Amino acid sequence: MTQRLARAMKADPKGPGHFPEPLAWVAALDKTLSGDPSTPNLETHRAKLVDTRDRINTWMQGHPDDYR
C-alpha cells in the first residue's frame, strides 16, 4: 500500500518535491514495517499505521487540488 502511494506522489505532475512531508512519513512507516506485510507485524505497528494515514489525510485536506 505505501509503495503505491509513494509512487503516485512521485509520478504527480508537480513532482515529488510537492510532497516532502507525506513522502517522509511513508518512508518512515516502510522502515518501521521492515517490508513485512504480515498481519501480526501490521497489528504490532497499528498505531504507526493509523498515525501515518491520519497525517497524510490532514496534509491532503490542506492541499485540496491534490486530493483525488
pLDDT, tens digit (0-9, with 9 covering 90-100), for 2-49: 788 888 888 888 888 888 999 999 999 999 999 899 999 999 999 999
The number of folded domains in the chain is: 1
Average pLDDT of every residue of the chain: 89
| Cβ pair 49, 29 in contact under 8 A | yes
**Structural domain of 47:** 2-66
Contacts of residue 66, Cβ cutoff 8 Å, sequence gap at least 6: 12, 14, 18, 60
Q: Decide which of 42 and 61 is more confident.
A: 42
0.75 exceeded by pTM? yes
CA distance 49 to 14: 26
Q: What is the largest CA-CA distance in the chain?
A: 37
